[in-house]
Structure 1
Amino acid sequence: MIKLKINNKVVEVEEGTSVMKAAQQMGFEIPNMCWHDELEHFTSCMLCMVKDQKNGRLYPSCSVNATEGMEVVTDDQEIADSRKTALELLLSEHVGDCEGPCQVACPAHMDIPRMNRLIAAGKFDEALAVVKKDIALPAVLGRICPAPCEGACHRKTVDEPVSICLLKRIVGDHGADPIIPEVEKTGKKVAVIGAGPAGLAAAYYMQLKGIDVTLFDKNEKAGGLLRTQLSKEVLPKDVLDKEIESIIKTGVEFRGGQSIGASEFDQLKKDFDAIVLASGAITDDSEKYELKANPKGIEADKTTYQTSDEKVFAIGNVLRSSRLAVRSVGQGKEVAFSVMQFLTGQEIKGEPRLFNSRFGKMVADEFAEYLKESVEGKRRIPEQGKNAGFTREEAIAEAKRCLHCDCRAIDNCKLREYSDQYQVDQKRFKTSERRKITKQINHDLVVYESQKCIKCGICVRLTGKYKEKFGFTFIGRGFDVEIGVPFNEDLKIGLTETARKVAEGCPTGAISLKNKE
């Protein structure tokens, strides 16, 4: 056994143990992408750099063994800068979207590609559960949203965008409400002023977080402008009532017919732990509530929605006049994170958002690659007319037009996780035209998108260890090296035994399991 210091803490390990494993033994996690517990070190990503405290030299912890008396620093600014540079170099050749452009364009940031895949599989209840993670009023918005998401859809470049709003509408109309999980009550109370789309969404998502919400509105019925300004032809009242009821049944207390003046507002600040102001277009609200404002509306932090009064948050049209209900609904979801952080004494940051790789516009040479996972044909028009919406069969057929342009590893990609942690600049080292995207899908279990590959060699080493007849190998030399199946064999020939293991070992979305839903 040998002794060394890691971050000034003494650790005793067996001789031959790498610095990375010694650090892990002490509870210090060192970022890595080419490391795999089953394999020997490879030293390609250069992300696991640490520092020799005695001489200040940086070295890769995966490939240096611990020695007696060694003193190691695993994290300081120089190390962080080195890791950031390593990530930016990896990203310079990484081509792929983390999130689909439709999700990026959606003001509520809803996971549209996942909804589409579930609808395509006929799983309408599961699709509704995905939608309601971000949109509290899917059937309503499926009728009135101007669909900025469809303007960003990659399918639009091929022929016509996917009919996202009509798909959202049908799951809102016919999907079964997701089971509300039991959550531990926080013991905190929040007042929401205004029961329009912003206030309803805020009440819904805060209640789901264990906050007791009381929703106030000057009208006897909730809904705001959704109820008073839209015709029944555009938005039937029974549709609106059904979605409001699904919000109220989470435990939200609704008090209609109550106008909140200055004295009532002061009393709410005494009775409640926080207030969310969602009272619609600004009139004299800022003056009577003594909140900082400008001619457009009440001033609030753009990310957290906290106003000049730390206990008060503002969302929706009270910030600035807008006819985009989906933006108000999205802000209602986002403010729930800020309020929860405020109530629990955390730093108020709002809804967590991860780093998002984007490759830009799709080019004609890539159409066929993406259509491998889709179907030919322009968007479908509901046979009974747009106001009637899709039938289930029409919805399934339309959802199959989705190109699956989000990443399958969106929830477990090391490259994305570390890029977010180190706040990288994806374009820092981009010097040439991006590589064109290709997809190898002729395998029962996995898809291979080589442009997402960072050449960590895990797949090469795993297929070698488990003695695949062909497996993966490095093809070419220098900057032009690629990873693929030798002799241009098909993916299904290269991965006969190890496909799942290789997909699970890949640190990016280059090799992913086909069907995760």
Structure 2
Amino acid sequence: MPTITIDKQTLEVAEGTSILNAARSAGIEIPSMCYLDGCSNHPTCMVCMVKNNANQQMIPSCATKVVDGMDLASDDAEVKEARKEAIELLMSDHVGDCEAPCRVACPAYMDIPKMNRFIANNQFDKALQIVKEEIALPGILGYVCSAPCEKVCRRKDVDQAVSICLLKRFSDEESNEYLPEKKESNGKKVAVIGSGPAGLSAAYHLLLNGYSCEVFEKEEQAGGSLLPAIEKGELPEDILKREIEILKKLGLVLNVKQEITLEKSASLQKDFDALILANGAEGEVFDLEKGKSGLQVKSGTYATSNSKVFACGSIIRVQKMAVKAVAMGKEAAWSVDSYLSKGEAKTTERLFNSRFGTLRKEELAEYLKESVEGDRVEAKSPKGYSKEEAIAEAKRCMHCDCRKLDNCRLRDCAEEYKIDRRRFALGERNSVVKYMKHDSVIYEPEKCIKCGLCIEIAERHGEKTGLTNIGRGFTVKVAVPFNQELNEALKLAGRECAEACPTGALSMNN
């Protein structure tokens, strides 16, 4: 049996084993996109490269068999740079968004397309579950959110933006008894000073992560900056009360008429593991450093000059958007969780997101294939949508997000290697095309990396038409031969091809 060395680790492996599988057998992870067990190894992505230390050459580990005495490097700087470059080359002609523009524009990062899918499919409970993964107060924001997501909705280039805010309100109104699952108690306590949108949001996410949480409010009524909206008739008071009751069911202890004095601030720091200031004032009693517009915090972590005290919302700078305050409360809670569980406050970071910009006129028709015709549905009731109205409006969503958001290997590699999306992007991009004439599969060729896995899988299943490479060199595309439709090409192998696809080029239509 050959004996090889990978990253100074000596291995004895069976004759004929690929370097990739030899490494994996030893717990050495090498990324790959065009490799799949049971399929031929035609190295096209070149992401699995390793270095032969004997001659300093880069070789594809998926298609290279081990040779006795090999000495290889899989994680040095040169190998990582070569992989990064390979991923950047793949991304140079990749036309597709990981996240829809509406989600990117939402300060709270709500998965809007997924909510819309569930509403359109009459799955209202699941829609609210998606909303409450990111947003603590959907009922409130359904009335007072300024909806920055709607300003970037691509549907407005056809007629009118999808009514995202009303759909969010509907999901909450329809399924308001839903309580998210909490983690087990970790035995730690956090105090939140202030019961406005930032404070209530911070409390919600702390409770879900297993913390005991108490909110302290100096006024007689909770709500903070939300109370003027109630006075103006913009927000029904019962919605605020209902949101607070949900937080209490999750374990929140709410203390009103509790002004934080110097003495009280000292006792809070003694009694609680961490504090979040979210009240727009009272920061001076904690003797914290001030910035230009409010308390000074470390960028992204919401940590103050006192290691136990964090701050968010208008106490840092005045927040005119309630959804921004809600987002800050969530991020502050997550930073506190990192501080108390790992010893270090952490910035909330979003994953790599491929973005290709504005749709061309000819591409609007392609995106409308996933939607329905018709102007925005207007709610007949001042309370919002009926079930029928919500379903009809949700169906107008063009689903600009990627269906393989959570299992796209190209995105995973781009994130791991921190690539420059534009490094090799030259000239005009290709136009988006969507092949949807199939019962269960969608094909978007401009996301394809030409790995050939779908071609081989279709052939193995005995597909009469199948898929093939059309064109030569840089113009080659995987397509259906003889101008046939996708439903003719993949009668048997559609699901397996979609599951094997390393990107969102082939995906299930659900």
TM over 0.5: yes
Match for residue 332 of structure 2? 335
Distance in 1 between residues matched to 2:182 and 2:162, nearest whole Å: 35
Q: Could you tell me which of 314, 323, 327 is aligned with 1:326?
A: 323
| In the alignment, structure 1 residue 441 sits paired with structure 2 residue 436 | yes
Q: CA deviation at 1:465?
A: 2.4
Q: In structure 2, how many angstroms separate the alpha carbons of the residues matched to 1:488 and 1:313?
A: 61
Rate the CA distance shift 1:346–1:419 in 2: closer, same or farther, 3 A: farther
CA contact (8 A) 1:18 1:61 kept: yes
Q: Secondary structure at the match of 2:131?
A: helix
Aligned partners of 2:179 and 2:246 also within 8 Å: no
Aligned equivalent of 1:294, options 291, 294, 299: 291
Q: Deviations over 1:85-126 (max 9, x none)?
A: 111110110001111100000010100011111111111111
Match of 1:191 in 2: 191
Whether 1:104 and 2:104 are equivalent positions in the alignment is: yes
- The alpha carbon displacement at 1:347 in A equals 4.5
Cα distance in 1, alignment partners of residues 67 and 437 from structure 2: 48
Q: What is the match of residue 488 of structure 1? A: 483
Counterpart of 1:3 in structure 2 is: 3
Q: CA RMSD in A?
A: 1.4
Map of 2:218 onto structure 1: 218
Secondary structure of the residue that 1:293 maps to in structure 2? Answer: coil
What CA distance in whole angstroms lies between the structure 2 residues aligned with 1:138 and 1:266? Answer: 34
Alignment match, 2:504? 509
1:253 paired residue number? 253
Q: Matches of 1:85 and 1:261 in 2, distance apart?
A: 57
TM-fit CA distance, 1:221:
2.8
Q: Which amino acid aligns with 1:40?
A: S
Write out aligned runs for 1:100-179 (5 A): 100-179=100-179
Tell me if the contact between 2:372 and 2:395 (Cα under 8 Å) persists in the aligned partners: yes
1:493 alignment partner AA: E
What's the secondary structure of 1:309's corresponding residue?
coil
User: Deviation of residue 228 (structure 1)?
Assistant: 4.4
Equivalent-residue separation in structure 1 for 2:50 and 2:303 (angstroms) = 39
State the shift of 1:219 in Å. 1.9
Structure-2 change in CA distance of 1:188 and 1:90 (3 Å): same
Matches of 1:344 and 1:303, distance apart in 2 = 18
* Distance change in 2, residues 1:347/1:81 (3 Å): farther
Contact 1:92 1:428 in 2 (8 A): yes
Asked whether the equivalents of residues 3 and 10 of structure 1 are also in contact (C-alpha less than 8 Å), the reply is yes
The Cα of 1:410 is off from its aligned counterpart by 0.5
Equivalents in 2 of 1:279, 1:232: separation in Å?
Answer: 21
Question: 1:358-390 deviations in whole A, cap 9, x for unaligned?
Answer: 110111101111111101111121123xx3311
Measure, in 2, the Cα distance between the counterparts of 1:392 and 1:5.
Answer: 63
Cα drift, residue 249 of structure 1: 1.1
- 3-state SS, counterpart of residue 335 of structure 1: helix
Q: Does 1:422 align with 2:425?
A: no
**Residues in 2 aligned to 1:157 and 1:187: alpha-carbon distance in whole angstroms:** 51
Q: CA deviation at 1:232?
A: 6.5
1:455 equivalent in alignment to 2:450:
yes
Would you say the 8 A contact 2:155–2:397 is kept in 1? Answer: yes
Mapped partners of 1:261, 1:240: distance in 2: 27
Residues 65-89 of structure 1, C-alpha deviations (whole Å, 9 max, x = no match): 1111212211011111111111111
Q: Does the CA-based 8 Å contact 1:436-1:451 persist in structure 2?
A: yes
What letter corresponds to residue 101 of structure 1 in structure 2? P
Matched, 1:274 2:274: yes
Stretch of structure 1 that moved more, 183-192 or 411-420:
183-192
Question: Partners of 1:322 and 1:343 in 2: how far apart?
Answer: 27
Give the match for residue 372 of structure 1. Answer: 369
**How far is the alpha carbon of 1:423 from its aligned partner?**
0.7
For 2:12, the aligned partner's letter is E
8 Å CA contact retained: 2:191, 2:213: yes
Show the counterpart of 2:180: 180
Q: Is the 2:179–2:250 contact (alpha carbons within 8 Å) kept by the matching residues of 1? A: no
Partner of 1:357: 354
> 1:125–1:177: 8 Å Cα contact kept in structure 2?
no
Compare 285-294 and 487-496 and name the one that shifted more. 285-294
Contact 2:283 2:315 in 1 (8 A): no
SS at match of 1:66: coil
Secondary structure of 2:276's aligned partner: strand
Residue aligning to 2:345: 348
How far apart, in 2, do the equivalents of 1:428 and 1:346 lie? 37
Q: Residue type of the partner of 1:268?
A: L
Q: Which residue of the partner structure matches residue 432 of structure 1?
A: 427
CA distance in 1, matches of 2:317, 2:182: 36
Residue 409 of structure 1 and its aligned partner are, at CA, apart by 0.3
Which segment drifts farther, 479-488 or 301-310? 301-310
AA aligned to 2:156 is K
Which consecutive residues of structure 1, in runs of 5 or more, have no partner in the other structure? Answer: none
Is the 8 Å Cα contact of residues 47 and 87 (structure 2) preserved in structure 1?
yes
What is the SS of the residue equivalent to 2:134?
coil
CA contact (8 A) 1:129 1:177 kept: no
- Whole-angstrom distance in 1 between the partners of 2:374 and 2:228: 39
| 2:227 counterpart of 1:227 | yes
Give the CA deviation at 1:311. Answer: 1.7
Q: 1:248 offset after TM fit, Å?
A: 1.6
Distance 2:224 2:182 in 1: 29
- Superimposed CA distance per residue, residues 225-278 of structure 1 (whole angstroms, 9 cap, x where no aligned partner): 213453373211111111111112111111111011222112211211111110
2:19 aligns with 19
Q: How far does the alpha carbon of each residue in 1:378-435 deviate from its partner, in whole angstroms, 9 at most, with x for none? A: 1121123xx3311111111111100011000001101111101111111111111111
Alignment check: 8 A CA contact 1:286 1:292 kept: no
Q: CA deviation at 1:308?
A: 1.9
User: What is the DSSP-based 3-state SS (H/G/I as helix, E as strand, rest coil) of the residue aligned with 2:324?
Assistant: helix
User: For 2:45 and 2:14, how far apart are their aligned partners in 1?
Assistant: 26
Quick check: 227-236 or 91-100, which moved more? 227-236
Q: Deviations over 1:195-233 (max 9, x none)?
A: 111110100111110111111111233211213453373
CA distance in structure 2 between the partners assigned to 1:443 and 1:15 by the alignment: 43
Instruction: Using the aligned pairs only, state the percent identity.
Output: 49
**Aligned residue in 1 for 2:310:** 313
Task: State the Cα distance separating 1:169 from its structure 2 match.
Answer: 0.6
Aligned match of 2:463: 468
- Superposition pairs for residues 44-59 of structure 1, below 5 Å? 44-59=44-59
Contact in 2 for aligned 1:475/1:482 (Cα 8 Å): yes
How many residue pairs end up in the alignment? 510
Q: Are the equivalent residues in 1 in contact too, given 2:43–2:63 (CA < 8 A)?
A: yes
1:396 match? 391
What is the CA-CA distance between 1:132 and the residue it aligns to? 0.6
Structure 1 equivalent of residue 71 of structure 2: 71
